[in-house]
Amino acid sequence: MDREKVAILGGKGMLGSDVARECALCGMDAKQFDLPEFDITNESHVREAIEWAGAVVNCAAYTNVDKAESEAELAYRVNAGAVGMLGRIAKAAEKWVLHVSTDFVFDGLKDGAYSEEDEARPLNVYGASKLAGEKMLAESGCANAIMRVEWTYGEHGNNFVKKLVKLAEGRDELKVVSDQVGGPSWTREVAKAICEFAAKRPEGLYHFANGGYVSRYEMAKFVFEKLGIGVRVKACGSDEFVSAAKRPLNSMFDCSKISGVLDGPIRGWGESLEEFLREL
């Protein structure tokens, strides 16, 4: 049945690879579409993927946050224009789309966790392009759900956890920012939620992160402790690191809405990260 066919755009990346894995475990026929054979900005490529599928999961994105500041046109073409095109083609084909977005749509100034009702005010080009993509998908009129995720890490691709381990090599001390707070989220846990969505086909905007909140500094200490790495972690402010793009300090998500859709509870960030580190 087409309903069990899931096209994963950006399917070979960090999240897409885990989505493909979880779909297979759930008995869904998942097909990965990714560069170089698949380009989400190519209309014929998108049509081919949608024609094959019963549902589409879009993990494809321009994700280089700092480089986006100087490559705004490319970031918007991938994160916004292509998503709008995807929505229009899906609307005509009557296919459901799940689009993955980001905590970077917020400015991080809220005192408390962000819900889906909070106003998005991105600080950088990457966040603005992802927000534009959300709006263009909604305007397309296709059946869709948008899942914002944050602080993701996984087996595939580059991420904060892998960077920490690499930076710790040959060092006695490592500076990590203590003023950025969020919910570290294992892509395997995100993928499980996405597979549930692919089966249930809900619509609307949802936030997903592993449960609880932690600073980047506290997360780094947790990683090194669990891996037995003896490097000292020194807390510092974000202003000590010069970068082209500003980051939100508060990335905390209120996940109560998505909890009402998922079959089981969302695992805590520490439990998930510890399991990932054991596998790593």
| Amino acid, single-letter form, for residue 266 | I
**Which candidate, 266, 163, 164, places its Cα nearest to that of 225?**
164
Could you tell me if 276 and 153 are in contact, meaning their C-beta atoms sit under 8 angstroms apart? yes
| Among 62, 76, 126, 206, the one annotated catalytic | 126
Q: Is 126 a catalytic residue?
A: yes
Alpha-carbon gap, residue 179 to 38, rounded angstroms: 39
The secondary structure of the chain, three-state, reads CHHHEEEEECCCCHHHHHHHHHHHHCCCEEEEECCCCCCCCCHHHHHHHHHHCCEEEECCCCCCCCHHHCCHHHHHHHHHHHHHHHHHHHHHHCCEEEEEEEHHHCCCCCCCCECCCCCCCCCCHHHHHHHHHHHHHHHHCCCEEEEEECCEECCCCCCHHHHHHHHHCCCCEEEEECCCEECCEEHHHHHHHHHHHHHHCCCEEEEECCECCEEHHHHHHHHHHHHCCCCEEEEECHHHCCCCCCCCCECCECCHHHHCCCCCCCCEHHHHHHHHHHHC
Ramachandran bin of 225, using left for φ above 0, alpha for ψ from -120 to 50, beta for the remaining angles: alpha
Q: Are 94 and 50 in contact (CB under 8 A)?
A: no
Q: Catalytic amino acids? A: 126
